[in-house]
Structure 1
Amino acid sequence: MAQFVKIFEENPNEREIEKVVKVLKKGGLIIYPTDTVYGLGCDITNTKAMEKVAKIKGVKLNKAKFSFICSDLSNLSDYVKQIDNSTFKILKRALPGPYTFILPGSTNLPKAFKHRSTVGIRVPDNNIVRDLVKMLGNPIVSTSIYDEDDLVEYTTDPELIFEKWKDIVDVVIDGGYGDNTPSTVIDLSDGEIEIVREGKGSIDDL
């Protein structure tokens, strides 16, 4: 059964963060808070763990539309091709925040994503998940536990999330109530702003 770990967003406890990072390093799956809906994720360098996440979502790993959660923009150069100044300015204005940006993928993408020409990047405005990524030392691959057809409370209440997921994942983090509006997805892969999905992030703020 999954561990249920309480972490406070204002001041995440380093020992608790470390406990979760150990699970990620062993290929475990976690559910964690973001600035939008709770996410399901694993270490981006662990193909087996990513395959498990894809299976849960009912997709093949090479077809999965996972995004990468970074702690800040410094991870970008590892996974994203050189971007122009105006794109970087948009990212700097919007992040950390409730956006997923689709950017041109670099040749350094993890094996499972090698064939991808683009990559979705998230830097959530949430200290818990950013501290996790910082301590882990690389992004976590992420997909939301949000289900368009099934918008019920379990996606926002950590205790209900734990009830539903405790036999599927290794850790559920209780970071307080989540939101049930997903991130705004913006495609910047060819230099233009294309809104793929309107969510929590305001388009006017770009």
Structure 2
Amino acid sequence: MSQYFTIHPENPQPRLIQQAVQHVMQGGVLVYPTDSGYAIGCRIGDKNAMERICRIREIDKDHHFTLMCRDLSELSVYARVDNTAFRLLKNNTPGQYTFILKATKEVPKRLLNPKRKTIGIRVSDDPITMALLEVLGEPLMSTSLILGDNEFAESDPYEVREQLERQVDVIIDGEHRGEAPTTIVDLADDVVKLMRVGAGDPTPFEQLG
């Protein structure tokens, strides 16, 4: 049975954030709110927790996993960012985007797209997300919580609890969220590619594709 924490969406309670992170540090799988629906995550280096997430999400090794980072400085530890990409990231983070970038050696190989050696990167300004990352001190290995054949991320924490309370360790209730997943932008090569239009405004990238 998972722990269920009701956390204020604007002023997260530090005690509950600490408890949630403690479960993650001990190998737990976490469901948490972001600025584009709910996500599911674990520590970067935790292979068992990652495999649990793959089973819950019904995804395979070719899935583009995402690192939820605190800021551009942390992002640059895990992804290779050239000048063009840096300008785009600086102008559009934090935001409702996932950026596909070439990974550095700091990213475990099992998280990479096997063919392209890329990783998804996110920077969110959601207060709960930011509080979790601040206490954790490293990115969360993360993916949108899209269950079964659904097209959209889960938005209702009560429904998440009904479906996953026996499969994850912590569910954070940060109130109802939007259902649209992030907009995905591929910056791994010389050409900017808009891979999916979601919650983030695609306009800054449509002119560059």
**CA–CA distance in structure 2, aligned partners of residues 64 and 203 of structure 1:** 22
CA RMSD of aligned residues (A): 1.9
SS in 2 for 1:33: strand
Describe how 1:177-188 pairs up with structure 2 within 5 A: 177-188=176-187
Quick check: 160-169 or 143-152, which moved more? Answer: 143-152
Change (3 A) 1:49 1:99: same
Select which of 73, 85, 88 maps to 1:87: 85
How far 1:33 sits from its partner (Å)? 0.3
State the match for 1:190 in structure 2: 189
TM-fit CA distance, 1:151 = 5.6
**Gaps (5+ residues) in structure 2?**
none
Q: Partners of 2:148 and 2:48 in 1: how far apart?
A: 27
| Percent identity of equivalent pairs | 38
Matches within 5 A, 1:141-180: 141-147=141-147, 149-150=149-150, 155-180=154-179
What is the aligned residue count?
203
1:49 lines up with 2:59 in the alignment = no
Partner letter of residue 179 of structure 1? G
Identify unmatched segments of 5+ residues in structure 1. none
Q: SS where residue 184 of structure 2 aligns?
A: strand
- Report the CA distance between 1:111 and its aligned residue: 4.3
Is the 8 Å Cα contact of residues 37 and 146 (structure 1) preserved in structure 2?
Answer: no
The 5 Å alignment of 1:1-206 reads: 1-60=1-60, 62-81=61-80, 83-113=81-111, 117-147=117-147, 149-150=149-150, 155-205=154-204
Residue deviations 1:59-102, cap 9 Å, x none? 34x33321111111111222112x22221111111111100000
Is residue 42–residue 140 contact of structure 1 (8 Å, CA) maintained in 2? yes
Per-residue deviation, 1:156? 1.4
Looking at structure 1, the residues matched to 14 and 20 of structure 2 have their Cα atoms a distance apart, in angstroms, of: 10
